[in-house]
Structure 1
Amino acid sequence: MVLMTAQNYDIWKTKMLDRLYVKQLSRPIEEEGIRHVGADVQQWSELDRRCLGYIRDYIDVGVIHHVENVTAHGS
Structure 2
Amino acid sequence: MTKTLQMVFQNQSGNNVTISLPDVKEDLTAENIKSVMNLIIAKNVFQSSGGDLVALMSANIVSREVEEINVR
TM-score normalised over the length of structure 1? 0.31
Task: Select the structure that is richer in strand.
Answer: 2
Q: Which has the larger radius of gyration?
A: 2
Task: Select the structure that is richer in helix.
Answer: 1
